[in-house]
Structure 1
Amino acid sequence: MEEAASGGAIAGIAGFLAWFFGNIAMSFYNFVYALTHPASWLDWSNAEAVMRFVYYGASAEFFFVVLTAFLVLTALGLWRSGAMWAMVRGLEWFHNGIGRIAAWAGLIMVLQQVVIIMVQRIFARPDIGFGFGVPVSFDVSWWSEELKLYNAIVVCLCLAYTFVQGGHVRVDLVYAPVSYRAKKIIDMTGSIIFMMPMAVLMWLYSWYFMWRHLITPKPSASEGFDRLLMKARALRWNVETIGFSPNGFSAYFLFKILIVLMCAFIFLQAVTFFWRSLLELREGPESEGKYHDHDRIEAGEEAYDHAEF
């Protein structure tokens, strides 16, 4: 009995390893095929191409393409640290740029709220319109509910930016008193064990959640590729335009898109933080904060250098 159990366990492990490395090997082919056949998944005038995009966006094939790219780029960075620093700087520049632009949504939200109050209390108008020629006019309740979108933009698009700037609230139980080397190992472990899996899990849920509010028949994560291709025969765009109130904000599908973007940015920042921590571990304390683009702050305020897990 024990020999049979141990033999079954060994066979299971061997099967898993064969599946894992087989998918790693196939990811090179899948990546090249996707690049050389863009019409098969980017020609959205074709219903089957849309369904391929929906399926592969949260598929095991796409996961292994991303994983393989991460492994290859990490290996390249270990060989040429300059290349890894370039990737870190590029990704941090990207997140800083997106975050700094998205942060302006907070100001727009405040200004729009002031206008809404003035229109309601001073001018006693039921709607707000603007534009030239063909003005855009919506009920005041539409503009009031739209304020949620600005808040969502700040939250979803500034998460990675805030992480780069070290602005997230953190609970430090062991991080501060440990050595520099231990801190970098904790940072790398946190990126691999917590940030990346969490981002992947959120992506898997939010991807189909988004598409169920964009097309019909509604796709499901439990459906296979062939089943989704069969649904493509009846596919049509059905973008969600239903508000919570009769005259309320009617573009809630934008929130679903923002959730997907947030997951992608969190994953990219996890990769970036792992690479930065690895480089700082290899190069020593003098490299801490190297090429870090901190926001300018007022006198007496200090930005955090790193997040702590």
Structure 2
Amino acid sequence: MFTGSLWRTSEDPAEIGILNWLSWDNSLPDKQSLMKFVYYGGSVEFFFITLVIVLAVTAYGFYNNRFMWRVTVGLEAIANGVGRFFAWAGLLMVLQQIVIVFMQRIFTRPDISIGFGIPLEFDISWFAEELKLYNALVVALCVTYTFVQGGHVRVDLIYSAVSHRTKRVIDMVGSILFMMPGAILVWMYGWYFLWRHLIVPKVNATDGLDRLVLKARALRWNVETVGFSPNGFTGYFIFKILLVAFAGLIFLHAIAFFYRSYLEFVEGEESEGKYLDRDTLGEGEDAYEGTH
């Protein structure tokens, strides 16, 4: 099996780092580096390295609850930061739809031109289909933000009727048995689904590292730019990237949710919502109050 550091450059495939391809010059070492990156991104090795790191952090967190609180708050800050930023995509989607309607119905223009000098100019159908991208940004990148804010709809049959400690046990079990495995499955399928729309020859989850490095001799970029209509949106490869980002955010927040549930279980009911950064509409009002 090929090994090597992240960045080391060499003509020997065994010595080529998996990140050399970031300084792309279309050389064989860069192609082999990219194939190694593709392999390790969805590999058993990557899974177990991640698992060992999570277990090590968790074990130390059991010993030092203050450390676990810091990790929890940090992971929730990532969810909030990413979500609050990309939530603006919803406003952009509304504004762009208004522009499309005005251009079509009032100015009867077949295209929209944006910019100065050399403008960005596409058919109106391109901008109309591109609205899906804003929706995908909100769905994929705001999902954990919404979870932190308590904005997801919950079908509650027994949860509200049980004690505080029982709720925390349910939350811990749910994060381990549902959130984490679900995120891992989406990542594994999404990772190779993404790269099959970025490069040729096609890569598969069943390909070993040796086989992928051999395929590197024929590797070339083949980014998907095919739209659903003749003049439609052509950046559908971005949706594949968002699928992988979605899985990564869910996995990270599953860890945060498990940590918070454990800490609230240990510290008791008075710790519920401790250090939780939620948006508010005003003094003492949750932005998502009444939605869950």
Which structure has more helix as a fraction of its residues? 1
What aligned pairs does 1:61-140 form with structure 2 within 5 A after superposition? Answer: 61-140=45-124
Which residue does 2:276 correspond to in 1? 292
* 2:188 is the alignment partner of 1:204: yes
Q: In the aligned structure 2, how far is the partner of 1:108 from the partner of 1:254? A: 17
Q: In the aligned structure 2, how far is the partner of 1:303 from the partner of 1:65? A: 38
How many pairs were matched up? 276
Please report how far the alpha carbon of residue 303 of structure 1 lies from its aligned counterpart in structure 2 after TM superposition: 5.7
Aligned residue identity for 2:182: M
Aligned residue identity for 1:216: V
Q: Contact 2:7/2:17 (CA < 8 Å) preserved in 1? A: no
Please report how far the alpha carbon of residue 286 of structure 1 lies from its aligned counterpart in structure 2 after TM superposition: 1.0
What aligned pairs does 1:1-309 form with structure 2 within 5 A after superposition? Answer: 40-44=17-21, 45=24, 46-297=30-281, 302=286
Name the SS of the counterpart of 2:161 in structure 1: coil
Aligned residue identity for 1:43: N
Name the SS of the counterpart of 1:152 in structure 2: helix
Q: Deviations over 1:119-168 (max 9, x none)?
A: 11111111100111111100000000000000000000010111111111
Q: Contact 2:7/2:19 (CA < 8 Å) preserved in 1? A: no
Q: What residue ranges of structure 2 are gaps of 5+ in the alignment?
A: 10-15, 25-29
Aligned residue identity for 1:138: F
Aligned residue identity for 1:79: Y
Please report how far the alpha carbon of residue 297 of structure 1 lies from its aligned counterpart in structure 2 after TM superposition: 2.3
Name the SS of the counterpart of 1:172 in structure 2: coil
Name the SS of the counterpart of 2:17 in structure 1: helix
**Aligned-pair Cα RMSD in Å:** 2.0
Q: Deviations over 1:252-286 (max 9, x none)?
A: 00000000000000000100000011111111111
Please report how far the alpha carbon of residue 85 of structure 1 lies from its aligned counterpart in structure 2 after TM superposition: 0.7
Q: Contact 1:166/1:303 (CA < 8 Å) preserved in 2? A: no
Q: What residue ranges of structure 1 are gaps of 5+ in the alignment?
A: 1-29
Q: Which runs of 4+ in 1 moved over 4 A?
A: 33-39, 298-305
Q: In the aligned structure 1, how far is the partner of 2:8 from the partner of 2:41? A: 16
Q: In the aligned structure 1, how far is the partner of 2:190 from the partner of 2:282? A: 38
Name the SS of the counterpart of 1:41 in structure 2: coil
Aligned residue identity for 1:236: R
Name the SS of the counterpart of 1:125 in structure 2: coil
Name the SS of the counterpart of 1:124 in structure 2: coil
Which residue does 1:23 correspond to in 2? none
Name the SS of the counterpart of 1:40 in structure 2: coil
TM-score by length of 1: 0.85
